[in-house]
């Protein structure tokens, strides 16, 4: 087959033409033969099983039944008529029903002749019925058993209106295979095919569109899913390797006095094994000749800041400056205060730069950065401004990376002749399967244990009917000197929803917790920033015992004395939000609690989310469940979901295949980094084409 044959515009396929081609392009993005070939079925109707009437279930599935029509009648309705046939086999009776084309159907049906009927079954009372079944005589059915599983392709309303039905797409597909003679170039090496027992590319494409049975379909799907994920991983891993070869980093060879002094004298607590492991991984990167590009994942409270500080001290020991960038002023200020406290007995110069830094302070800052007197700069996006020039930036740390775009990260790179090492931190646990796909070109470190002495937060689910008991519990905690958060979903709810909004909740709490015995703060999105800060400040200082808030407190508030988090209408929050909110308590040495309040009306997904929260504190486990419930697009937000525009694989359901594909991609690049060996020619050929056409089956954005 001519290698460019699949690039032929779809209009040239027999039976398509320019009009249909326009609709296919607009609705399904199909422009070429290759695009049509990679339009994979959503599901299949299995014509390999025959059901007896007494085995039928009202499951909404399409089934086929063998039997005879013993009686026909026409029934008058409000509008028009319907035709009802009594269809029997040896186990029972069902109805076949038609609302259109009655005259033709009546003339062509034969009584007491064996038929095979196929369609979706409904149940009315104790009788099953099948509306507008597909039918053929048993004799004709047995002669024509060429295609026993019927593929169902993605469709839209507009396609159906233009007559491009499932049957029409199947016909186009058959025509495409006739014109290609069913032969497609192999894209994997013989070694991979043998080791993984994969069927050939041609066999896989044939059996995914025209499967004879379940077993062949499963083999075809496995082969195509593996291939899709394999090329995605090949792209990400080869990018990582190329960057390490091309972009030379500044090796931090010395472990000098600052690092050692901090480790021996000022470390506030013993490092966990996970922290030690991560510091070792980062030190290996910093000591090599390549530029570090590492993602550090750690749950709320796992001690990422200490790890970040120790890396900064390594940079300072090697004569470099470092910066830490955070997405909001609150977070940047918190990082700055935390680091300043840890460094108070050491000779390390640290400064804060945000949008509200005064002009006089800025001028001083710029001078200190340029003459090298300032060791650490903590800041927001303000750090990226062109005026901010370092003498020698060696390490840049970016916190909550998903809020910064690629362009902003590259600005940090250009602050130096040699690009600084980059450490990206996130407290949003990213499921391993998703991290492999989204951040496959970064090296990943995970801090997966909490510091000693931290008691796990106890999480319980309570219904609104238990509210009085919950209030009693709050009063007991306040008597012990603790503070309480009560969080509501955002205010702008439609009145029709029966959720207690924030103000109702506030009033009922003021009634149950009267002044002067109790002091209450309230914070929500409609308040002026100054008022918000004032209320927050009162709570932080311990002047109020209860903080009623909408989700504005999600990121960055640190009140070690707050020991109870109550989340109202918890069923309306996503899992990652619930987990982030829960992380606001449990910061002191006392036992902390998270109480999820809901009504009795809960969807299945909501029940799963609540059960997950009650059963585990592990952010990674929670993220995995979240991924299964919401899918990758929702989880990462729209800006990154485009990266997961896969044609046949699904990174949630196929995560085992993803791991296998990543393993084989890594092995291949270790043995043959440039894919120069003769046996890898098919892989190189397919990969080069994908890179040239910017498609890994239109996948990599």
DSSP secondary structure, 279-309, as one string: HHHHHHHHHSSBPPEEEEEE-TTS-HHHHHH
pLDDT at 409 (0 to 100)? 60
Given a cut of 60, whether residue 538 has pLDDT beyond it is yes
Does 690 or 271 have the greater pLDDT score? 271
pLDDT at 255 (0 to 100)? 84
pLDDT at 697 (0 to 100)? 40
pLDDT at 404 (0 to 100)? 54
Q: What distances in angstroms separate CA 369 from CA 250, 252, 321, 364, one per listed residue?
A: 19, 20, 8, 9
pLDDT at 262 (0 to 100)? 93
Tell me the average pLDDT across 219-242: 90
Given a cut of 60, whether residue 638 has pLDDT beyond it is no
Q: What is the largest CA-CA distance in the chain?
A: 99
Distance of CA 3 to the CA centre of its chain: 36
Tell me the average pLDDT across 153-172: 89
pLDDT at 496 (0 to 100)? 37
Residue boundaries of the structural domains of the chain: 1-47+166-182, 48-146, 458-616
pLDDT bracket for residue 187 (50, 70, 90): very high
The two domains 48-146 and 458-616 share their CATH topology (first three levels equal) = no
pLDDT at 634 (0 to 100)? 53
Per mean pLDDT, which range of 271-275, 288-292, 420-424, 673-677 is the poorest?
A: 288-292
Does 656 or 196 have the greater pLDDT score? 196
Per mean pLDDT, which range of 164-173, 493-502, 527-536 is the poorest?
A: 493-502
Tell me the average pLDDT across 110-120: 92
Distance of CA 46 to the CA centre of its chain: 31
Does 144 or 344 have the greater pLDDT score? 344
Given a cut of 70, whether residue 641 has pLDDT beyond it is no
Tell me the average pLDDT across 51-65: 81
pLDDT at 643 (0 to 100)? 46
pLDDT at 60 (0 to 100)? 65
Per mean pLDDT, which range of 17-21, 261-265, 434-438, 501-505 is the poorest?
A: 434-438
SS (H, E, C) 557-591: CCCCCEEEEEECCHHHCCHHHHHHHHCCCCCCCCC
Given a cut of 70, whether residue 498 has pLDDT beyond it is no
pLDDT bracket for residue 401 (50, 70, 90): low
Tell me the average pLDDT across 422-448: 78
Per mean pLDDT, which range of 96-110, 143-157, 244-258, 645-659 is the poorest?
A: 143-157
Taking the C-alpha atoms of residue 119 and residue 140, their distance in angstroms, rounded to an integer, is 18
SS (H, E, C) 307-322: HHHHHHHHHHHCCCEE
Tell me the average pLDDT across 488-511: 66
Q: Is the pTM of this model over 0.75?
A: no
Distance of CA 342 to the CA centre of its chain: 35
Tell me the average pLDDT across 71-99: 91
DSSP characters for 395-436? EEEEESGGGS-HHHHHHHHTTSSSPPEEEEEESSPPPHHHHH
Tell me the average pLDDT across 560-577: 89
Given a cut of 90, whether residue 501 has pLDDT beyond it is no
Given a cut of 80, whether residue 527 has pLDDT beyond it is no
Work out the angle at residue 274's Cα, subtended by the Cα atoms of residues 271 and 276, and round it to the nearest 5 degrees.
55
Tell me the average pLDDT across 451-475: 90
pLDDT at 62 (0 to 100)? 78
pLDDT in tens, 269-292: 889 999 999 999 999 999 888 888
Given a cut of 70, whether residue 588 has pLDDT beyond it is yes
pLDDT bracket for residue 226 (50, 70, 90): very high
Given a cut of 90, whether residue 18 has pLDDT beyond it is yes
The answer to whether 652 touches 630, Cβ cutoff 8 Å, is no
Taking the C-alpha atoms of residue 336 and residue 353, their distance in angstroms, rounded to an integer, is 10
Per mean pLDDT, which range of 323-332, 506-515, 690-699 is the poorest?
A: 690-699
Given a cut of 90, whether residue 678 has pLDDT beyond it is yes
pLDDT at 38 (0 to 100)? 93
pLDDT at 551 (0 to 100)? 63
Does 440 or 296 have the greater pLDDT score? 296
Given a cut of 70, whether residue 642 has pLDDT beyond it is no
Given a cut of 70, whether residue 593 has pLDDT beyond it is yes
Tell me the average pLDDT across 503-520: 88
Pairing of strands 458-463, 62-76: unpaired
| Share of residues in the chain with pLDDT > 70 (%) | 89
Tell me the average pLDDT across 222-238: 92
**For the domain 458-616, what is the CATH code?**
3.40.50.300
Tell me the average pLDDT across 198-211: 94
Does 554 or 8 have the greater pLDDT score? 8
pLDDT at 111 (0 to 100)? 93
Distance of CA 97 to the CA centre of its chain: 44
pLDDT at 628 (0 to 100)? 80
Give me the chain's average pLDDT, please: 85
> Which residues does residue 325 pair with via DSSP β-bridges, in sequence order?
379, 398
The set of residues, in sequence order, having a beta carbon less than 8 Å from that of 209 and lying 6+ positions away, is: 41, 151, 173, 177
Per mean pLDDT, which range of 24-28, 267-271, 677-681 is the poorest?
A: 267-271
Q: In terms of CATH, what superfamily is 48-146?
A: Nucleic acid-binding proteins (2.40.50.140)
Does 464 or 60 have the greater pLDDT score? 464
Pairing of strands 483-487, 546-549: parallel
Other CB atoms within a 10 A radius of the CB of residue 305 amount to 18
Given a cut of 70, whether residue 553 has pLDDT beyond it is no
pLDDT at 33 (0 to 100)? 92
pLDDT bracket for residue 31 (50, 70, 90): very high
pLDDT bracket for residue 241 (50, 70, 90): confident
Does 643 or 140 have the greater pLDDT score? 140
Best CA proximity match to 189, nearest among 681, 697, 696, 675: 681
Given a cut of 60, whether residue 153 has pLDDT beyond it is yes
pLDDT at 636 (0 to 100)? 47
Per mean pLDDT, which range of 102-106, 414-418, 514-518, 627-631 is the poorest?
A: 414-418
Taking the C-alpha atoms of residue 680 and residue 662, their distance in angstroms, rounded to an integer, is 17
């Amino acid at each position: 087959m001519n290698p460019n044959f699949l690039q032929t515009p779809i209009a040239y396929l027999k039976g398509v033409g320019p009009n249909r081609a326009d609709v296919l392009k607009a609705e399904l993005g199909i422009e070429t033969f290759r695009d049509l070939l990679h339009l994979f079925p959503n599901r299949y109707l299995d014509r390999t099983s025959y059901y007896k009437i007494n085995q039928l279930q009202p499951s909404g599935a399409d089934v086929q039944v063998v039997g005879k029509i013993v009686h026909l009648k026409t029934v008058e309705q409000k509008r028009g008529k319907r035709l009802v046939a009594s269809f029997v086999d040896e186990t029972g009776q069902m109805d076949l029903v038609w609302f259109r084309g009655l005259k033709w159907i009546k003339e062509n049906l034969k009584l007491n002749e064996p038929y095979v009927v196929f369609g979706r079954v409904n149940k009315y009372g104790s009788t099953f019925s099948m509306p507008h079944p597909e039918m053929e005589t048993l004799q004709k059915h047995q002669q024509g058993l060429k295609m026993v599983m019927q593929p169902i392709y993605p469709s839209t309303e507009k396609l159906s209106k233009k007559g491009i039905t499932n049957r029409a797409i199947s016909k186009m597909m058959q025509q495409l295979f006739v014109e290609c003679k069913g032969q497609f170039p192999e894209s994997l090496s013989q070694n991979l095919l043998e080791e993984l027992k994969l069927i050939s590319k041609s066999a896989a494409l044939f059996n995914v569109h025209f499967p004879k049975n379940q077993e062949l379909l499963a083999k075809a799907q496995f082969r195509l899913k593996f291939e899709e994920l394999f090329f995605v991983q090949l792209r990400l891993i080869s990018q990582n390797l190329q960057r390490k070869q091309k972009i030379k980093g500044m090796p931090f060879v010395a472990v000098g006095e600052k690092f050692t002094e901090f480790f021996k004298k000022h470390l506030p607590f013993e490092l966990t094994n996970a922290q030690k492991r991560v510091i070792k991984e980062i030190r290996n990167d910093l000591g090599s000749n390549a530029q570090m590009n590492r993602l550090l994942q750690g749950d709320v409270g796992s001690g990422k800041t200490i790890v970040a500080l120790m890396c900064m001290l390594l940079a300072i020991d090697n004569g470099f400056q470092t910066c830490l960038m955070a997405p909001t002023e609150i977070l940047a200020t918190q990082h700055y205060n935390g680091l300043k406290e840890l460094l108070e007995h050491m000779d390390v110069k640290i400064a804060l730069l945000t949008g509200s830094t005064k002009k006089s302070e800025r001028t001083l800052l710029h001078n200190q950065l340029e003459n090298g007197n300032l060791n650490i700069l903590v800041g927001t996006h303000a750090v990226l401004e062109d005026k901010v020039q370092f003498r020698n930036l060696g390490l840049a740390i970016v916190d909550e990376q998903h809020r910064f775009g690629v362009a902003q990260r590259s600005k940090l790179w250009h602050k130096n002749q040699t690009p600084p090492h980059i450490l990206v931190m996130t407290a949003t646990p990213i499921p391993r399967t998703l991290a492999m796909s989204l951040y496959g070109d970064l090296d990943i470190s995970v801090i997966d244990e909490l510091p000693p002495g931290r008691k796990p937060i106890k999480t319980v689910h309570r219904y609104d009917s238990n509210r009085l008991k919950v209030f009693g519990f709050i009063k007991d905690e306040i008597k012990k000197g603790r503070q309480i958060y009560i969080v509501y979903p955002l205010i702008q709810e439609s009145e029709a929803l029966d959720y207690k909004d924030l103000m109702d909740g506030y009033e009922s709490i003021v009634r149950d917790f009267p002044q002067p015995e109790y002091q209450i703060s309230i914070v929500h999105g409609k308040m002026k920033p100054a008022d918000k800060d004032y209320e927050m400040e009162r709570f932080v200082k311990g002047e109020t015992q209860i903080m009623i808030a909408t989700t504005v407190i999600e990121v960055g508030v640190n009140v070690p004395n707050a020991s109870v988090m109550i989340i109202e209408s918890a069923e309306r929050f996503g899992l990652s939000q619930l987990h982030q909110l829960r992380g606001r308590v449990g910061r002191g040495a006392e036992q902390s609690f998270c109480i999820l309040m809901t009504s009795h009306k809960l969807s299945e997904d909501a029940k799963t989310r609540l059960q997950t929260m009650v059963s585990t504190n592990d952010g990674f486990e929670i993220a995995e469940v979240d991924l299964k419930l919401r899918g990758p697009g929702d989880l990462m937000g729209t800006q990154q979901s485009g990266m997961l525009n896969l044609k046949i694989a699904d990174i949630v359901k196929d995560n085992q295949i993803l791991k296998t594909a990543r393993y084989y991609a890594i092995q291949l690049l270790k043995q043959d980094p440039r894919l120069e060996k003769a046996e890898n020619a098919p892989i190189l050929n397919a990969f080069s084409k994908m890179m040239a056409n910017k498609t890994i089956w239109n996948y990599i954005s």
